[in-house]
């Protein structure tokens, strides 16, 4: 557990402020403190939650709110696929509980560690350690943000922590040229489509980026 905690530590420092920003954004968009904190437990995904509360604040229809949140979270399907063989060796309860806390940061750190560490017992404790040290500051940050609401000063520039976190995540996620194409096209389309309402520009960027990356990749050999 200690090793997981140590590896996640750099990201622990950022989980608090990002939780804080989400909490403030949620309350400013008219959510109650309870709803704000509840979402951090049941959705457990910062970017999707920030989009969700902004859409609720804009009084979007529930289908747009839930649909956008799920599309932003679609990347978890990849983590699910890459970590499935590891999780298969965990006891059932561990497997389905740890699934809920599979987020960008815990997945990336775990996949890196599991390249060299094969023992399932070590692995599930490692994962739990990283999760505890990530989720705790996230929930504390959310709670403080929800309680303070608009009292947080803009002078702190905390807002920059959100794009900064995503820059820090996207750069190492690019491992080859087609992935670079996916990121560049995705980012460009998201900005160019800013006229679209309800955060649909992010969805447009995501789909164009994925399509561009698939087209840029060499055709996979059948049966390979």
Partner 1 sequence: MSPLAQILLAGIGTYLIRVSFIAFSGRLQSIPPRVELALSMIPPAVLASIAASGLLLQGDELRGLDEWHIAGLATALVAWRTKNVALCLSVGMAIVWAIGP
- Residue 4 in contact with partner 1, rule: CB under 8 A: no
Query: Least distance from C-beta 38 to partner 1, angstroms?
Result: 6
Dmax (CA) for the chain in angstroms is 58
Minimum CB distance to partner 1 smaller for 83 or for 129 = 83
- Decide: 181 and 212 in contact? Cβ < 8 Å: yes
- Residue 62 in contact with partner 1, rule: CB under 8 A: yes
Query: Least distance from C-beta 146 to partner 1, angstroms?
Result: 13
- Residue 58 in contact with partner 1, rule: CB under 8 A: no
Minimum CB distance to partner 1 smaller for 53 or for 129 = 53
Q: How far apart are CA 103 and CA 134, in angstroms?
A: 10
Which residues between 96 and 115 bind partner 1 (CB under 8 A)? 96, 99-100, 102, 104
- Residue 5 in contact with partner 1, rule: CB under 8 A: no
Among 78, 111, 118, 121, binds partner 1 (CB under 8 A): 78
- Residue 118 in contact with partner 1, rule: CB under 8 A: no
Minimum CB distance to partner 1 smaller for 1 or for 210 = 210
Residue 44's region, left for phi above 0, alpha for psi from -120 to 50, else beta, is left
Site map 23..42 versus partner 1, x via CB under 8 A: --------xx--x--xx--x
Among 15, 27, 47, 135, binds partner 1 (CB under 8 A): 47
* # binding residues, partner 1 (CB under 8 A): 93
- Residue 83 in contact with partner 1, rule: CB under 8 A: yes
Which residues between 155 and 214 bind partner 1 (CB under 8 A)? 155, 157, 160-174, 178-180, 182-191, 194-195, 201-202, 205-210, 212-214
């Amino acid at each position: 557990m200690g090793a997981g905690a140590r590896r996640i530590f750099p990201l622990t420092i950022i989980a608090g402020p990002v939780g804080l920003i989400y909490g403030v954004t949620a309350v400013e968009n008219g959510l109650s403190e309870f709803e704000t904190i509840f979402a951090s437990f049941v959705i457990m995904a910062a970017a999707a939650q920030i989009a969700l509360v902004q859409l609720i604040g804009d009084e979007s229809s529930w289908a747009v709110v839930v649909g956008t949140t799920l599309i932003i979270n679609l990347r978890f399907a990849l983590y699910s696929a890459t970590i499935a063989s590891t999780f298969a060796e965990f006891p059932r309860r561990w497997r389905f509980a740890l699934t809920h806390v599979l987020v960008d940061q815990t997945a990336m750190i775990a996949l890196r560690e599991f390249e060299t560490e094969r023992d399932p017992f070590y692995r599930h404790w490692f994962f739990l350690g990283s999760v505890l040290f990530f989720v705790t500051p996230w929930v504390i940050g959310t709670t403080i943000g929800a309680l303070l609401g608009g009292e947080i000063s803009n002078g702190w520039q905390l807002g920059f922590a959100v794009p900064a976190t995503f820059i820090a995540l996207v750069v190492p996620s690019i491992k080859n040229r087609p992935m670079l194409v996916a990121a560049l096209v995705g980012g460009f389309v998201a900005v160019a489509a800013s006229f679209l309402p309800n955060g649909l520009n992010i969805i447009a960027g995501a789909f164009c980026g994925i399509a561009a990356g698939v087209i840029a990749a060499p055709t996979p050999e059948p049966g390979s």
